């Protein structure tokens, strides 16, 4: 009986491993805005990068980032000067973002484009420091993006 149980558990694990790639591709389709760095149409892009594994803390960073961008930059969003994109870096076509922006975890990046080409970018790494203070988080994102948009 125990041997059967062990075999069953081990088989489930092996099947799990084999289905990883399939699952990755399927889950990636849900919310990925797969747009390459050079293909973007807006002048400024705020990217939130995540992977297939979505932890609660990471969802909170995404939520706060989206909320603060929508709260303080609604005009620029409407005008198309600023775009907020959520990208899954575990999708094969998005893997290049990891090297492009030297990502090491879930991150919020602000990037500036001119004539379709990226001219500069910044990792707003302190989003991790202000996780437990929504107002400070909002203020941080606001001031960092404002510095970029000041050139508009």
Partner 1 sequence: MDTASIPLLSALWLGILTSISPCPLASNIAAVSFIIKRVDRTSYVLSSGILYTLGRVIGYTVLGILIASSLLSIPQTSYFLQNYMNKLLGPILVITGLFLLEILTFTSFGFSFSQKSTARLQDMGIVGALPLGILFALSFCPISAALFFGSVIPLSVKSGSNIIFPSVYGIGTGLPVLMVAFLITAGIKNIGSIFKKITLFAYWMKKTTGVIFMLVGIYYVLTYIFYLSLL
90 binds partner 1 (CB under 8 A): yes
85 near 37, Cβ under 8 Å?
Answer: no
CA dist 111 and 48 (Å) reads: 11
| Residue of 20, 71, 119, 152 interacting with partner 1 (CB under 8 A) | 20
89 near 49, Cβ under 8 Å?
Answer: yes
Bridge partner list, 122:
110
| Residue of 54, 85, 134, 142 interacting with partner 1 (CB under 8 A) | 54
CB of 74 to partner 1, least distance (A): 29
86 binds partner 1 (CB under 8 A): no
Strand blocks (E) in 1-145: 44-50, 82-88, 107-114, 117-123
CA dist 90 and 10 (Å) reads: 26
150 binds partner 1 (CB under 8 A): no
55 binds partner 1 (CB under 8 A): yes
Residues near partner 1 (CB under 8 A): 2-3, 5-6, 9-10, 12-13, 16-17, 19-20, 23-24, 27, 51-58, 89-90, 98-99, 102-106, 125, 128
């Amino acid at each position: 009986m125990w041997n059967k149980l062990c075999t069953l558990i081990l088989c489930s694990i092996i099947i799990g491993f084999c289905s990883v790639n399939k699952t990755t591709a399927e889950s990636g389709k849900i919310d990925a805005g797969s747009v390459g760095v050079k293909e973007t149409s807006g002048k400024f892009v705020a990217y939130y990068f995540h992977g297939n594994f979505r932890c609660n803390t990471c969802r909170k960073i995404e939520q706060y980032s989206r909320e603060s961008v929508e709260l303080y930059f609604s005009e620029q969003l409407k005008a198309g000067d600023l775009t907020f994109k959520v990208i899954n870096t575990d999708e094969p076509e998005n893997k290049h973002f990891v090297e492009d922006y030297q990502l090491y975890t879930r991150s919020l990046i602000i990037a500036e484009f001119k004539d379709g080409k990226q001219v500069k970018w910044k990792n707003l790494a302190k989003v991790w420091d202000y996780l437990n203070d929504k107002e400070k988080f909002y203020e941080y994102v606001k001031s960092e993006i404002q510095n970029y948009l000041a050139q508009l």
